[in-house]
Structures are given as C-alpha cells and as structure tokens.
C-alpha cells in the first residue's frame, strides 16, 4: 500500500537522527511511541546547539548583545507559537514546563481564586492523570465537586450524559481533545459551546491534538488550551498554556519570584504584565527556542498534510493489526474519529511481554496504563500495548509491527 498525501516520508525520516540508528546489532529502529514523546529533527537539535554555543544568556534582564539576542529568539518563538495556534496575541501564550504544569496552573491560580465548596467541575473517563489529579487536589482542598462524563464501549464521550451533567451548573469543564489511549478525537467546539451556554469555562488538554492536526484556539471555543513541545518534535521541559487574555488578567500568579513581578516591596508586590505574570524565574530559554523551531518545521510540512497522512496510516494499521489472531483494539473503529494511536491487547500475553519481544525486533511501543488508570479500569484492563504514529512513520513501520506481533503470538502460544 502506497501512501503519500503530499509528504515524502523518505526525506522526512532523514531529518531525524534517531531514526537512522540500530537499537540492536543489525536491528534498525521502528519508532512507534510518539504519543509518549516524539523524535527530534536536526533543525531543532541545531537550534539548541546554536543557542547554547553562541547566544547563551538570560532573557529580559540584560542589555548586552548576547542577552538581547537570547531575548529576541525567545520572544520570537512565542510569536511563532501564537500564530501556529491562532492566538489573538502572543501575550496569551505562557511558557511552562509541560501540559501537566499548565493544567496545574489553571487548577491552582484560577481554581483557588474562583471556586468555593460545592462548585462543580466536569472531567471525563478518558482523561490523562494530568487532567485528573490537579482537580482531585483542588477538590480535597476546597470541597469542589467533580462530575465525570461517561465513555461508551466504542470509546466516544457520552454527549447525552455530558448535557445532563451541565444541568448541575458547573463552573468549569476540563477535557482532552484527543485520548492518548483510545485515539478518540472529541468534538471540542460542541463541548465548548454547550459549556459556555451553561455558564462554565473550558480547559482543553491538547497535548495529543496540537502536534497532529490544525488547532485554532479561538475556533474550538476553549478558554484554556495546554500542550507540550516534546510531543511535537520539540525539546522536553517546555510547554504552553494558552488562555483568553481577560481571564488571565483576572487571576493571580501561580508562582512567585523573578520576572513575574513589576514591583516588589518588603511586605507586598505588584505582578508583571502578561505573559510574564505566570513565568517566574529563569525560563527554559534554549528549549523555548527549540520549540519555535519545531513549530516552524511542522508548519513547513503543513498540519493538514500531517493529519491526512496519519489518518491514512492509522486506518491501514487498524486493518493490519486486527488481522492478527487474538488481538483486540480499543477506541473508535472509524479511523476518521481517531488520531494515530492504536492501543491493543493480545490474548494470553501481558502487554509488557509484547513490548519486550517487539523491542527485540527494533519496534518501540508503549506498554502499561499510559497514565490513564481509570480508563483502563473501565474496560477491565490492567494494561494495554500502544503503537502511535507520526510524520516519520510509514506502512513499512506498520508491517514491521504486525510481523513482530505474529512472532509474539507464536512465542506465547
């Protein structure tokens, strides 16, 4: 099967040094674990090396040449990312360590200042722990009530149940745009519209969607959107919280220290303007610069082309993996409603054993609960194996996965 969708995979693969290596003697790497973290193209690696080699300085604080160069590159990345997600202003783009920290910022800065005991927050059964635990902490601290949208057997949100929960008058709805286990792409625009009609604001965990599809934060109607660089060809340790400016202006800082202040007195302080109000201390400067380069790399390929490629690839993967006797795939059967994620089990074989045997063939997949324990419990599963795809994967990678799964099946028969 030949897939192209306007993308030359052979050329793209050469952009990623890790994909050129052998993980065992004579065994090339087949990387199918992008949902956990993506590989990095040479352009991003070069940008990090260039910054640390020639422009290394702290930002916003110096007037010498290196400081001005570092500040310009850092802020240029912010502008680049703002444009990438359709933000009205780069001041709405806050650099943080990752999606997890971004959700925690909303839970603590917005939640602790806006919620009281008895207020309700809506989550869903398919959430990553990063979009569960911060709200549990808030519930324990303030007495906030948590409602949870059911997920049906096919892996979709039960929208009728969601509408019923909205009748309880929630203050916030926090859901994932795309499940990191099921691959389900949720109807965020509809979710946001219904939430706003009910008087709630919307937090979106977009860690799995922004790297793979065109996401316009204003188009989807959310109030907060969080995502991470490391899942979209960028460095680890850097992520973004986008928020509506009026809401960000109205909530207190999350952390205290340098750069997030305008004035400091012995017994009080005045917070800085956006976005620095939420960026305490020396930031991950090189990583932010690398993040901007990753966004430029993805933009150069085209997000629509990336999405089309993954749609074709996941459809092929589901067809091929389903042909392996004893395999069960979880999530929507219609590939048009799921991203490039295939979580599965194989009868009689623990997912960890699957992953270990696959690794001996150079095929890298994830095994475990994928930081989604409640979702696995819903399907009475301790763990699943998960293959996930990106711009550098092709049908040969899927075929390698299936061939290795046949090896697993015969080994444990």
Catalytic positions, written as ranges: 371
Token pair 């635990």 in the structure block, residue: 133
Residues 6+ apart with CB under 8 A from 261: 269, 270, 271, 272
Residue 295: count of CB within 10 angstroms of its CB: 23
Torsion of Cα atoms, 108 then 109 then 113 then 114, to 10° = -80
CA 135 to chain centre: 18
Query: Could you please report the per-residue DSSP string of 70-122?
Result: HHHHHHHHHHHHHHHTT-S-GGGEEEES-HHHHHHHIIIIIHHHH--TT-EEE
- Cα gap 35→390, rounded to integer Å: 9
Tokens of 395: 């049908």
CA 338 to chain centre: 15
- Cα gap 15→164, rounded to integer Å: 48
CB of 317 within 8 A of CB of 333? no
CB of 116 within 8 A of CB of 268? no
Query: Could you please report the per-residue DSSP string of 140-187?
Result: HHH--EEEEE-B-TTS-B-HHHHHHHHTT--SEEEEESB-TTT-BB--
How many C-alpha atoms does 151 have within 13 Å on its Cβ side?
26
CB of 108 within 8 A of CB of 254? yes
β partners of residue 224? 203, 243
Residue 352: count of CB within 10 angstroms of its CB: 13
């Amino acid at each position: 099967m030949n897939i192209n969708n306007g993308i030359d995979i052979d050329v793209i693969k050469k952009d990623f040094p890790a994909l050129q290596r052998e993980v065992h003697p004579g065994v090339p790497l087949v990387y199918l674990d992008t949902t956990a973290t993506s590989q990095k193209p040479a352009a991003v690696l070069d940008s990090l090396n260039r910054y640390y080699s020639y422009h290394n300085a702290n930002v916003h604080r110096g007037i010498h040449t290196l400081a001005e160069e570092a500040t310009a590159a850092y802020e240029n990345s912010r502008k680049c990312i703002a444009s990438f997600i359709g933000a009205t202003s780069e001041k709405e783009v806050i650099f943080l360590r990752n999606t997890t920290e971004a959700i925690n910022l909303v839970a603590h800065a917005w939640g602790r200042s806006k919620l009281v005991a008895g207020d309700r927050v809506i989550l869903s059964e398919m959430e990553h722990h990063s979009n569960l635990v911060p709200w549990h902490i808030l519930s324990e601290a303030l007495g906030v009530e948590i409602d949870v949208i059911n997920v049906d057997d096919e892996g979709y949100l039960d929208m009728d149940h969601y509408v019923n929960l909205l009748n309880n008058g929630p203050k916030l709805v926090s859901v994932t745009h795309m499940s990191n286990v099921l691959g389900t792409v949720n109807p965020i625009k509809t979710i946001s519209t219904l939430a706003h009609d009910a008087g709630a604001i919307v937090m979106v965990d977009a860690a799995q969607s922004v790297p793979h599809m065109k996401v316009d934060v204003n188009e989807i109607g959310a109030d907060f959107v969080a995502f991470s660089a490391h899942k979209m060809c960028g460095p680890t340790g850097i992520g973004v919280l986008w928020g509506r400016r009026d809401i960000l202006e109205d909530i207190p800082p999350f952390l205290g220290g340098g750069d997030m202040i305008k004035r400091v007195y012995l017994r009080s302080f005045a917070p800085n303007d956006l976005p620095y109000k939420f960026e305490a201390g020396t930031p991950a400067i090189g990583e932010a610069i690398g993040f901007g380069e990753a966004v430029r790399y993805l933009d150069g390929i085209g997000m629509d082309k990336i999405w089309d490629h993954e749609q074709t690839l996941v459809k092929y993967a589901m067809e091929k993996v389903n042909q392996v006797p004893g395999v069960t795939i979880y999530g929507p059967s219609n590939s048009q409603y799921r991203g490039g994620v295939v979580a599965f089990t194989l009868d009689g074989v623990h997912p960890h054993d699957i992953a270990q045997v696959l690794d001996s063939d150079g095929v890298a997949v994830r095994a475990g609960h994928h930081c989604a324990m409640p979702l696995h419990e819903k399907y009475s599963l301790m763990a699943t194996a998960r293959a996930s795809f990106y711009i550098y994967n092709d049908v040969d990678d899927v075929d390698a996965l299936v061939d290795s799964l046949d090896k697993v099946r015969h080994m444990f028969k």
